[in-house]
């Protein structure tokens, strides 16, 4: 047997006793929890998830068909770890960091089993530029050099679990990730690559409270329900309500420096869409293809379920690694429900006592551990970095009371509630403005004051009030028709309609409207407020609601969204509105 | 081959065999009963002292005296070109009186996942001749687009009409239909077969029939056999294959039955917790592969228990498939065929397959405008019921009228009526022209001038 020859230590070799789908049991086997093992004659990759008496229970990341009791199991003695170093960006991985492009070369168009592939290209040479010199003191996490990875500069660091020391020698030039680039006084040699176990959070010096918003260019998000850099958000919604489009918009336009996108148990064709689209899209900040700052992880719904469980950890570890370099990273996980289901599936094969709806009792703990790995931090090297986590949730039947949504909401600070009714009316993004919330509003208050306008926070509260009022009025309209409303309220309804159709609705497929910066958001909202103010004064002067609602100048406002250089047009509309209302007031 | 007579327990479709040599997980098993009948099964759980076998047929006749033979290989499907035109049982045996299939290849029926990196993006428009699909929920090659229906609705006719009329304009590439029936009645099956024969579709079809009185457990493998065949036709013979799976609800029932027999912890409504993964292993077997000629397009049909779209079966399906076509009882009662309700229907890949170079430049905008108009008109119906038509504004009355016209002219069409995409879009413009042109806010001026019946050059239509 090939496996035996690889490893002669007998205590690391066990025998398979039972195979039940992705869960297998081995005996005569020394192992620690979460050790990576090679299962069967084909050496399928697996991970120890339970130890019970003589038995060691292993989840296998590949299909186990044909594996028999009596076949060998070999312990690698390592935990499930990812390779971190230059070459991560622009790559697309499966749940256990095997590059999918390499898998196509090795096993063709379909995912077969028993093939391993390293996460990083080991033959590629990178131009290493040292940033420390001989005699310098370094500690775990210190940056010792840099590599131009794409348009992103990759910082090479001392692995955070090493104590560091004095630099004895450091090289400069072209190296592979396996070449030693730096040697410390105590003999430790450092390469450009480090391995890190995915289930262990990478250490930081200190966690800070986030105070800067992650600008996404999506009006309803930035304007009404912002997420902070280093914050956490959840997007729950039934199928067809636009979760994936929203996640992809965030991956495209959020002003993070690095984006990690995890397609966890989702559709294959959707990942293909991301793969074909991203290289063609241009980052509005750098002018470079968006792909250059992106790492994709695609473990589609029909790929092995245990690898799906691991995919989320693989993703967050990569995100933390770039955070440690001092970057702002945003991580999208689509969808965390599929991750939870993978946990449920494994748990039920272990015959564990189920919690709510068959999910394991540790569901809440796992979710909170995952989201807690987000944050704005001071890195070990002393810089600032952040990981923002945005998780999609797919509640069965769109029912938010189910365990995954509920446990997620207890942890995350921002809730973007998708609404199937809105998407049926083709109101996109279909985020319900009444149910959604952001707990970062207070901490981000100062930033908006400073960077957008001192008026912004008031403007935002005003818009929310109008929308809230509209919801109450709509109930009356449903019963008695809109003509029966008092005059002032008829104006409120009109203003709310404008906020909804002009500000909240945004076309992801329009070249201009797909991204809207904060200044423009402010200008649009201010114009709507201008209309509301003009209406109020006009009404006080005796102008009728139908005259106000019938005024023409405001009808041009929606066009602003689609104009790149919108300022002149917006000023023109404002002037026309003003003039039109002056005439109306004079006539009244 | 060794035969074991060590059956220790039989529960539902599960047979427990003791004291075997090491048996592989997922292996195909033959169980020989006292009268020599051979029943097929698959290993669900294997350990050094006990093997659990799931039998795909009825366990009637199996007892302690039955012999169990493990074949040493996973279930394979013999495939070949001559399968076209054949009718097979839900277990893959010919039932049309013809000869056994001479296999050119034997393929594993589980099918490996297509590497997302190897997939090509689906973007070829399939014209089904049905306006509500072509116009507003476009199907493209390589897509999986289920029909969500319910008991007593004409989903079978819709599926047949799609199978009959589907074409890619200007394409002469070979085309085939793989039809898998799971737990449908003999009568329904006859309906399908008659129609296939009437239209000559049978020659380019492979039919798998698991009828209502066939063993429920067999339904677990029927769609997998069908998809293995489809993948062979598509990716090895370069054909464009349309797979119709009906009825997925029966498939899920069988899945639940096995879960219960295994005493598993049930998920929602008693369906197994792994149903999402299991359904994904079927639905995800659609697509196009870079550099290969063929494609697999799937139209699964399911009946929503109690017309409830939040039931686990439609719910999990909707999370995997690329949209859904929803059949409505209300429209059916109004006598509208095909009773497709476009509002909850969706095609996620529509935008990739329409517009200039695919259908026509105005497609997306016309579709959006009709959606918006119909949605609003439909909402107003509720209001009319309370406040009466007279309380509506002129604009609202027009929208209400539009909603009716939309149903009567756009949705409604004949069972044999094959509308081209140009017909469908022109019809859309006809309907939109009943609204004031200022209302068409989702369409640009240029397109209105080019296509609107009242504005387009030389048009004198009312």
Beta strand ranges found along A111-192 (DSSP E): 126-130, 137-138, 143-148, 153-157, 165-170, 173-175, 182-184, 189-190
Nearest CA of chain A to the CA of B142: how many Å? 9
Crossing angle for the helix pair B248-261 and B222-231, to the nearest 10 degrees: 130
Reply yes or no: is the peptide bond before residue B338 cis, omega within 30 of 0. yes
Cβ <8 Å between B118 and A478: no
Taking the Cβ of residue A483 and every Cβ of chain B, the question of whether any pair is shorter than 8 Å is answered with: yes
The size of the A-B interface in CB pairs under 8 A is 201
Taking the Cβ of residue A558 and every Cβ of chain B, the question of whether any pair is shorter than 8 Å is answered with: yes
A207-242: burial string, b at 16+ Cβ within 10 Å, e else? eeebebbbbbbbbbbbbbbbbbbbbbbbbbbbbbbb
**Which distant-in-sequence residues (6+ apart) come within 8 Å of B166 by Cβ?**
B126, B127, B128, B129, B139, B175, B242
Q: Which of residues 381-420 of A touch B (CB under 8 A)?
A: 394, 396-399, 420
For position A7, what pLDDT does the model report?
44
Nearest CA of chain B to the CA of A130: how many Å? 35
Nearest CA in chain B to A559: B441
Nearest to B44 by CA among B20, B64, B27, B68: B27
Contact A440, A228 (CB under 8 A): yes
For position B458, what pLDDT does the model report?
62
The helix/strand/coil state of A209 is coil
Nearest CA in chain B to A18: B47
Contacts of B273 in chain A (CB under 8 A): 341, 344-345, 348, 358
Cβ <8 Å between A269 and B310: no
Bridge partners, residue A386, by sequence: A328, A376
Taking the Cβ of residue B45 and every Cβ of chain A, the question of whether any pair is shorter than 8 Å is answered with: yes
For position B201, what pLDDT does the model report?
84
Within 10 angstroms of residue B185's Cβ, the number of other Cβ atoms is 12
Between CA A36 and CA A195 the distance in angstroms is 14
**Polymer length of chain A:** 588
From B116, B309, B372, residue closest to A268, measured CB to CB: B116
Reply yes or no: is the peptide bond before residue B36 cis, omega within 30 of 0. no
Cβ <8 Å between A302 and B113: yes
Q: Which residue has the higher pLDDT, B203 or A5?
A: B203
Nearest CA of chain A to the CA of B23: how many Å? 5
ipTM higher than threshold 0.90? no
pLDDT digits (tens, 9 = 90+) for A401-454: 999 999 999 999 999 999 988 888 788 899 999 999 999 999 999 999 999 999
For position A5, what pLDDT does the model report?
39
Contacts of B113 in chain A (CB under 8 A): 110-111, 268, 300, 302-303
Taking the Cβ of residue A305 and every Cβ of chain B, the question of whether any pair is shorter than 8 Å is answered with: yes
For position A11, what pLDDT does the model report?
59
Residue A276: pLDDT band (50, 70, 90) is confident
Between CA A184 and CA A188 the distance in angstroms is 5
End-to-end CA distance of chain B: 80
In the predicted structure, residue A535 carries a pLDDT above the cut 70: yes
Taking the Cβ of residue B122 and every Cβ of chain A, the question of whether any pair is shorter than 8 Å is answered with: yes
**Which distant-in-sequence residues (6+ apart) come within 8 Å of B167 by Cβ?**
B126, B127, B175
From B118, B320, B441, residue closest to A109, measured CB to CB: B118
The pTM for the full model equals 0.90
Nearest CA of chain A to the CA of B348: how many Å? 8
Contact B321, B331 (CB under 8 A): no
Q: Which of residues 67-86 of B touch A (CB under 8 A)?
A: 73-74
Cβ <8 Å between B274 and A483: no
Cβ <8 Å between A345 and B312: no
User: DSSP per residue over A26-56, as a string?
Assistant: EES----TTEEEEETTTTEEEEEEEEETTEE
Cβ <8 Å between A397 and B311: yes
pLDDT digits (tens, 9 = 90+) for A27-42: 988 889 889 999 999 8
The helix/strand/coil state of A293 is helix
For position B12, what pLDDT does the model report?
85
The helix/strand/coil state of A534 is helix
Cβ <8 Å between B273 and A345: yes
From B116, B142, B281, residue closest to A298, measured CB to CB: B116
Contacts of B315 in chain A (CB under 8 A): 238-239, 396-397
For position B459, what pLDDT does the model report?
55
Q: Determine the average pLDDT of the residues in A539-543.
A: 91
Q: Which of residues 453-472 of A touch B (CB under 8 A)?
A: none
In a structure prediction context, what are the per-residue pLDDT tens digits for chain B, which is 462 residues long?
788 999 999 988 899 999 888 999 989 999 999 898 999 899 999 998 899 999 988 888 999 999 999 998 888 899 998 999 999 999 899 998 999 988 999 999 988 889 999 999 999 999 999 999 999 999 999 999 999 999 999 999 999 999 889 888 888 888 899 999 999 999 999 998 898 888 888 899 999 999 999 888 889 999 999 999 999 999 999 999 999 999 999 999 999 988 888 888 787 888 988 898 899 999 999 999 999 999 999 999 999 999 999 899 999 999 899 999 999 999 999 999 999 999 999 999 998 899 988 999 999 989 989 998 999 899 889 888 887 888 777 888 999 999 999 999 999 999 999 999 999 999 999 999 999 887 887 788 888 889 999 887 665 544
Taking the Cβ of residue A344 and every Cβ of chain B, the question of whether any pair is shorter than 8 Å is answered with: yes
Cβ <8 Å between A272 and B372: no
**Which distant-in-sequence residues (6+ apart) come within 8 Å of B208 by Cβ?**
B88, B89, B90, B92, B178, B179, B180, B181, B222, B225, B226
Reply yes or no: is the peptide bond before residue B247 cis, omega within 30 of 0. yes
Q: Which residue has the higher pLDDT, A116 or B347?
A: B347
């Amino acid at each position: 047997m090939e496996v035996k020859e690889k490893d002669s230590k007998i205590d690391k070799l066990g025998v398979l006793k039972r195979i039940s789908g992705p869960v297998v049991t081995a005996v005569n086997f020394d192992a620690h929890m979460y050790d990576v093992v090679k299962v069967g004659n084909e050496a399928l990759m697996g991970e120890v998830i339970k130890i019970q008496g003589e038995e060691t229970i292993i989840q296998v990341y590949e299909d186990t068909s044909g594996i028999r009791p009596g076949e060998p199991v070999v312990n690698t003695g390592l935990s499930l770890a990812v390779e971190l170093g230059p070459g991560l960006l622009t790559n697309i991985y499966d749940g256990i960091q095997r590059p999918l492009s390499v898998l196509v070369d090795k096993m063709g168009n379909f995912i077969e089993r028993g093939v391993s592939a390293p996460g990083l290209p080991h033959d590629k040479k990178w131009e290493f530029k040292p940033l420390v010199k001989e005699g310098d003191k370094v500690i775990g996490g210190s940056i010792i050099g840099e590599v131009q990875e794409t348009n992103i500069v990759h910082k090479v660091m001392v692995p955070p679990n090493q104590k560091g020391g004095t630099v004895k020698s450091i090289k400069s030039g072209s190296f592979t990730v396996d070449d030693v680039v730096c040697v410390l006084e105590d003999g430790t040699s450092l390469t450009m690559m480090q391995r890190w176990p995915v289930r262990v959070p990478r250490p930081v010096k200190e966690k800070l409270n986030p105070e800067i918003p992650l600008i996404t260019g999506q009006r309803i998000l930035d304007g009404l329900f912002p997420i902070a850099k280093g914050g956490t958000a959840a997007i729950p919604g039934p199928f067809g309500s636009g979760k994936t489009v929203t996640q992809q918009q965030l991956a495209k336009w959020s002003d993070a420096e690095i984006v990690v996108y995890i397609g966890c148990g989702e559709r294959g064709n959707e990942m293909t869409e991301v793969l074909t689209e991203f290289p063609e899209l241009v980052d509005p900040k750098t002018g470079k293809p968006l792909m250059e700052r992106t790492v994709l992880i695609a473990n589609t719904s029909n790929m092995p379920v245990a690898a799906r469980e691991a995919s989320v950890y693989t993703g967050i570890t990569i995100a933390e690694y770039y955070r440690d370099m001092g970057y702002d990273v945003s991580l999208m996980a689509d969808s965390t429900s599929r991750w939870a289901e993978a946990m449920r599936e494994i748990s039920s094969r272990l015959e564990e006592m189920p919690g709510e709806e068959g999910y394991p009792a540790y569901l809440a703990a796992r979710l909170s551990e995952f989201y807690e790995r987000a944050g704005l931090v001071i890195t070990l090297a002393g810089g600032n970095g952040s990981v923002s986590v945005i998780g999609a949730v797919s509640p069965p039947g769109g029912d938010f009371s189910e365990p995954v949504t509920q446990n997620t909401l207890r942890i995350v600070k921002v809730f973007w509630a998708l609404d199937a009714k809105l998407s049926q009316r083709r109101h996109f993004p279909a985020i319900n403005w009444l149910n959604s919330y952001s707990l970062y509003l207070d901490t981000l208050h100062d930033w908006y004051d400073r960077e957008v306008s001192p008026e912004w926070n008031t403007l935002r509260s005003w818009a929310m009030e109008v929308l809230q009022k509209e919801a109450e009025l709509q109930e009356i309209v449903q019963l008695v028709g809109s003509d029966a409303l008092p005059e002032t309220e008829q104006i409120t309804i009109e203003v709310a309609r404008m906020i909804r159709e002009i500000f909240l609705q945004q076309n992801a497929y329009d070249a201009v409207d797909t991204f809207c910066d904060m200044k423009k958001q402010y200008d649009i909202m201010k114009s709507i407020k201008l209309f509301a103010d003009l209406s109020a004064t006009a009404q006080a002067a005796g102008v009728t609601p139908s005259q106000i609602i019938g005024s023409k100048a405001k009808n041009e406002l929606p066009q602003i969204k689609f104009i790149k250089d919108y300022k002149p047009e917006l000023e023109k509309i404002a002037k026309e509105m003003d003039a039109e209302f002056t005439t109306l007031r004079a006539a009244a | 081959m060794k035969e074991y007579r060590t059956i220790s327990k039989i529960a539902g479709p599960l047979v427990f065999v003791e004291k075997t040599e090491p048996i592989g997980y997922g292996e195909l098993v033959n169980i020989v009963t006292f009268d020599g009948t051979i029943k097929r099964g698959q290993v669900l759980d294997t350990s050094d002292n006990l093997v659990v076998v799931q039998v795909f047929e009825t366990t009637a006749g199996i007892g302690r005296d039955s012999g169990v033979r493990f074949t040493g290989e996973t279930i394979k499907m013999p495939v070949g070109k001559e399968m076209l035109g054949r009718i097979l049982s839900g277990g893959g045996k010919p039932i049309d009186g013809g000869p056994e299939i001479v296999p050119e290849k034997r393929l594993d029926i589980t099918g490996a996942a297509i590497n997302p990196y190897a997939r090509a993006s689906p973007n070829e428009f399939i014209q089904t001749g049905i306006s509500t699909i072509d116009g507003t929920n476009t199907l493209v090659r390589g897509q999986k687009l289920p029909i969500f229906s319910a008991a007593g609705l004409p989903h079978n006719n819709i599926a047949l009409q799609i199978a009959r009329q589907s074409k890619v304009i200007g394409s002469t590439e070979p085309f085939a239909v793989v039809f898998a029936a799971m737990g449908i009645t003999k009568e329904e099956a006859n309906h399908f077969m008659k129609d296939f024969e009437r239209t000559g579709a049978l020659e380019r079809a492979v039919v798998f029939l698991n009828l209502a009185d066939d063993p429920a457990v067999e339904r677990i493998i029927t769609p997998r056999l069908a998809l293995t065949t489809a993948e062979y036709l598509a990716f090895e013979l370069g054909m464009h294959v349309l797979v119709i799976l009906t009825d997925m609800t029966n498939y899920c029932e069988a899945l639940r039955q096995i879960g219960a027999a295994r005493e598993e912890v049930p998920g929602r409504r008693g369906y197994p917790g792994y149903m999402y993964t299991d359904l994904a292993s079927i639905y995800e077997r659609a697509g196009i592969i870079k550099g290969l000629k063929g494609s697999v397009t799937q139209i699964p049909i399911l009946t929503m228990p109690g017309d409830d779209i939040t039931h686990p079966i439609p719910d999990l399906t909707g999370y995997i498939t690329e949209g859904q076509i929803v059949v409505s009882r209300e429209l059916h009662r109004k006598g509208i065929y095909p009773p497709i309700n476009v509002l909850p229907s969706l095609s996620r890949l529509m935008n990739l397959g329409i517009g200039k170079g695919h259908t026509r430049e105005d497609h997306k905008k016309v579709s959006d405008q009709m959606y918006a108009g119909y949605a609003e008109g439909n909402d107003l119906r509720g209001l009319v019921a309370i406040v009466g038509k007279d309380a509506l504004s002129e604009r609202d009355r027009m929208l209400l009228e539009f909603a009716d016209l939309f149903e009567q002219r756009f949705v409604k069409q004949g069972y044999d009526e094959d509308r081209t995409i140009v017909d469908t879009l022109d019809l859309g413009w006809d309907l939109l022209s009943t609204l004031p042109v200022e209302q068409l806010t989702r369409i640009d001026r240029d397109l209105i001038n080019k296509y609107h019946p009242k504005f387009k050059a030389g048009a004198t239509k009312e």
